[in-house]
Structure formats: structure tokens, C-alpha cells
Amino acid sequence: MTATTLIIGANGKTGRRVEALLQANGHATRGVSRSSSPAFDWLKPDTWLAAMQGCDSAYVTYQPDLAVPAAKQHIAQFIQKAKQAGIKHLVLLSGRGEQGAELAEQQLINSGLTWNVVRASWFSQNFSEGFLIESVIAGQVALPAGDVLEPFVDVDDIAEVAFACLTKPALANKLFEVTGPELLSLRKCVNQIAQVRNTPMEYIDISVPQFVEALEQQGMPADMQWLMNELFGVVMDGRNSNLCHGVEQALGRKPKAFSAYAAAAHAAGAWQA
């Protein structure tokens, strides 16, 4: 039988990239989501086992984020079902500075399975593929924590590290904390995007309550409002204002700079109205 890698969150920023890398290198994959067949839904554990059958490894992204209180128990349940299905190796995408994420990581590290944790800083692609894209196109980005420094990481780097973990046994049972090569504020990121686009852009520093209230007015679900409050009100407090070297450790090269990401995203038409 051909070894198959399960991709949880195959439509997400990292999942689709990891699956593409595996397929391009001749590896069989099964990408699953709530809309796939078989389906996979984190809120419906009875869907998990069918999605896992016949797979020997998995790349796992948890929705909406490992910071949420339910994540620890869901990851523990997922591991139990993975063992039932015969999966031997799990690669978990995690987040820096999140207490809930670290609790979930420990479930995997102590599971008895072969494991990797890819613990990532803020995604550069949040500006072009995530919740900030419309604000960037409009030329006005309003966020809290505008001057807190963060080592934004390119999602392509995350995907390449995850791919290496899935395909290189020598990397097994290691945690890779991945960041970009420099510390930048949200304000500086917006300025760099403005330079690349050659378009004036405004960064507006607002409070966390103002930000969450705006999200509520836009119709964002309550669980996502909680998450944004957690990320901006707790995690984005400077605790992650330092560089780590997971990209170099896993891939033997430096991570991509935010300026290179911004130039590539602009060239690909990411911010065309």
C-alpha cells in the first residue's frame, strides 16, 4: 500500500501548501475539511475516524485556533482516534505564546506517537489571505497593538518546515519554533505594504474593546470575537518579540523577509480591488 498523509484543514493557508508540496514530490495525500468527502469537522468527532482510515501520517491544523479552551480535549481525542486508525506520525501546527496551544502540544508530545510541533509566529499572509485583506485594499488598517514587535513568518516557510517534518525521519520528535528574520510592528508592516503597492495607506491604532466591537458589528461569530480578544489582548503583549530559528534548523536556510513576502503578494495581484 502507498503511504498516505492526511491533511486536516486542506483549504487553509498552510494545509493547501503542505498538500501541494507533498503531491509535487510524489506523496499520496488525503486533504479533508468540513466540505470534503469524507468530511472532517472538529466539532463532530464522529467524522474523524473515517477521514483517518488508510493514512499513516497527518498534518494537523486546528480551527479556529489552539488557544481556544476546547482545543486541548479535541487534540487528545484526535490522538486516540489516530492510534485506532493506525496513524504513526502527527505534525501539529501551533502558535507562539499561547497557553492553550502549549497544553495541546503536550497532548501530542506525550502521546507515544512520532510527532512534530511547528510553533509559528503571526502569518505574513494574514495581510493578503486572511482577515486583513479588505482593510489593506481599502487603504486603512485599524488594529490594536500597533507598536508591539512581532517576527512575522511567511506561510510558505511554515509549509516547507511541515513538509520536511513529514518526509525526513531524522527530524522526528522535535519542536520547531518558526519566525521571520526580523521584528516588525503592525504599523511597519502596513508601511512596507504601502511602499510595495506605491499607494498611501493609513494605520489606525485602536483599543482591543474597540476592535472586538467592530468585529461584532461586522457579524463575526462570538467564538471568533473571543479568539481575537485573546490574540490581541493577551498574546500580542510583547511576549513574542524575539526571533527563533526553526526555519534554519529544519531547512538549513534563513526565513523569508516580510518585504519579500509583500513584493511577491503584490506581484501576484493579492491586493487588486
DSSP string, 129-156: TSTTHHHHHHTEEEES-TT--B--B-HH
Instruction: Tell me whether residue 105 is in a domain.
Output: yes
Determine, yes or no, domain membership for 209: no
Cell 506525550, residue?
Answer: 110
Asked if residue 1 has pLDDT above 60, the reply is: no
**CA 183 to each of CA 72, 118, 196: distance values in angstroms, whole numbers, following the listed order:** 30, 19, 19
Which residues, 6 or more positions from 4, have their beta carbon under 8 angstroms from its beta carbon?
Answer: 28, 29, 30, 54, 55, 56
Inside any domain, residue 97: yes
221-244 pLDDT, tens digit per residue, is: 888 899 999 999 999 999 999 999
| Residue 226, domain member (yes or no) | no
**Strand-pair category, 114-120 with 174-178:** parallel
pLDDT at 2 over 80: no
Specify the number of domains making up the chain. 1
Residue with cell 505534525: 91
- Residue 145 in this model has a pLDDT that exceeds 90: no
Q: Is residue 11 part of a domain?
A: yes
pLDDT tens column, 166-214: 999 999 999 999 999 999 999 999 999 999 999 999 999 999 999 999 9
Secondary structure (3-state) at 227: helix
Query: What is the domain extent for residue 32?
Result: 4-121+153-180+242-256
The closest alpha carbon to 52, from 4, 95, 13, belongs to: 4
In a domain, 271, yes or no: no
In a domain, 132, yes or no: no
Residues 193, 136 contacting (CB under 8 angstroms): yes
The answer to the question of residue 54 being in a domain is yes
User: Which amino acid does the sequence have at 252?
Assistant: G
- Residue of 64, 134, 224 whose CA lies nearest to 216: 224
CATH number at residue 64: 3.40.50.720
CA dist 230 and 131 (Å) reads 16
According to DSSP, residue 4 is labeled: E
Q: Are 156 and 192 in contact (CB under 8 A)?
A: no
pTM as predicted: 0.96
H/E element, 58: strand 57-60
